[in-house]
Structure 1
Amino acid sequence: MNRGKKWKAAYEKINPGELLSVEEAASKIGELSTTKFDGSVDASLKIGYKSLQNVRGIVRLPHGTGKNIRVCVIAKADKHAAAKEAGAEFVGAEDIIEKIQTEKWTDFDACIATPDMMPKIGKLGQILGRKGLMPKPKAGTVTDDVATAIKNVKAGQVEYKADKTGVVAVPVGRVSFGQEKLAENIRHLYQSIIRDKPSDAKGEYVKTLHISPTMGPALKINARNLI
């Protein structure tokens, strides 16, 4: 991969392969950011498990992700006031379903729906599913308590799953978070993934853990010290 001058300059500041404590890695991340804006910090975990489709879950980061989450709520009229009061940017019912279906509209980051609307939302599977926006009961985004679901999503609730290569990629904050908040988010993410691992998982479940800023090189964390 062809890397730019800024990335190469940042790479020279690290010792490739060096195992760092989570605090050391979190403190160095600002030096490796190559963007002028407050970039995202992402964690990448390599999972050692045969049935990767079962590696998935929900984690609520203690300090959130730093991203403004735009929420779309699909529910009947009696839920609209509560959804708007809780901070949902888009609230509707059949009108939103039609907009998504006809315009392929997905200008939001999370979609929450009440159970009675799911039969109608099912036809949106190809549009919402492709972007990871389909409401799911296990993710807490299919519920009658839309206000709580909205607050959880906006507070930093993140859904994760392993890709075909066994990598779980999760945003854990912004460069501006600083060492303490980033370290706490990373530690909480790791502990949650270990806690929720499949019951038949044997041996080393998380093989490696790296964090990296947007368009910057990655740092390797000694995950064994995170439990």
Structure 2
Amino acid sequence: MARHGKKYRDANKNVDPAKLYGLEEGISLVKSMAKANFDESIDAAVNLNVNPRHADQMVRGSLVLPHGRGKQTTVLVFAKGEHASQAEAAGADYVGTDNLISRITEDNWTEFDVAVATPDMMGQVGRIGRILGPRGLMPNPKSGTVTFDVEKIVKELKAGRVEFRVDKAGIIHISFARASFSEEQITDNLKEVVGTLARLRPASAKAPYFQKISISSTMSPGIKLDTGFAREMI
């Protein structure tokens, strides 16, 4: 059995595993327990009453957090001509075509968080799918990262756009804030996450749609929240 560190064990003493915390109380508690010597991320695990094995119950999408993620997103764009210029103006960190593909192929370089490509570049980008795919970096039309509107997507990514997808157990895992955020900022971001999931509720999903919601910081145990605030958003 894995042994937790002293900070985790100390934080765990403050959490009642049998209690469902109100939104404000839960956020206040998770913030107070983030005492590591780095800016801990604050994550949510949202259990949805869906069966991802059925195509009509697959919940996936993206959202732009009101206060960002508190982390700079490194964006690479495969584009040429006018679209390359637009990507650079929008703040993309790396923009190119064959030069980037060669660097990724020859050096196995993947020091970026998100890759975007214009549709006319996908024939070339597909050749490095074996490298990008396993790392979750392959541009995908469903996530909006294959598009000619590179200016919009780059700006959204830089502003804190987050992608999510329900796992096999029907759970959405998402990092939505940092411990350095104010309680109000953490609350706003979590409400945006939950509100987005509410809007994406499949018509075939049974009630209650939100079964469990827990939040935690990098070094703290999970805090179970009362899902009442989430049900009100449906």
Amino acid in the other structure paired with 1:201: A
Question: Which of 174, 178, 200 is equivalent to 2:178?
Answer: 174
Deviation of residue 197 (structure 1)?
2.1
Mapped contact 2:143–2:163 kept (Cα < 8 A): yes
Within a 5 Å distance, the mapping from 1:38-53 to structure 2 comes to 38-52=39-53
Pairwise CA distance, 1:17: 2.7
Query: C-alpha displacement at 1:131, in angstroms?
Result: 1.6
Post-superposition CA distance 1:114-167 (Å, at most 9, x none): 110012112222221212211122222111121111110111211101222222
CA distance in 1, matches of 2:167, 2:129: 19
Q: 1:27-176 to 2 correspondence within 5 Å?
A: 27-52=28-53, 54-176=58-180
Contact preservation (8 Å) 2:45, 2:173: yes
Q: Give TM-score, length-normalised by structure 2.
A: 0.91
Give SS of 2:143's match.
coil
- Partners of 1:120 and 1:197 in 2: how far apart? 36
Kindly, what percent of the aligned residue pairs are identical?
A: 38
Is residue 47–residue 166 contact of structure 1 (8 Å, CA) maintained in 2? Answer: yes
RMSD: 1.5
Tell me, yes or no, if the aligned pair for 2:52 and 2:167 is still in contact at 8 Å: no
Q: CA deviation at 1:21?
A: 2.0
Q: What's the offset of the Cα at 1:188?
A: 1.1
1:15 aligned residue:
16
Task: Spell out, residue by residue over 1:47-103, the C-alpha distance to the aligned partner (whole angstroms, 9 max, x if none).
Answer: 221225722111221111111000001001332222122111111112112222232
Number of matched pairs:
227
TM-score, normalization: structure 1?
A: 0.94
Q: Distance in 1 between matches of 2:16 and 2:6?
A: 18
CA distance in 2, matches of 1:45, 1:67: 22
Rounded Cα–Cα distance in structure 1 between residues aligned with 2:204 and 2:147: 30
SS at match of 2:174: strand
Gaps of 5+ in 2: none
8 Å Cα contact 2:52-2:168 kept in structure 1: no
Structure 1: runs of 5+ lacking an equivalent: none
1:221 aligns with 2:222: no
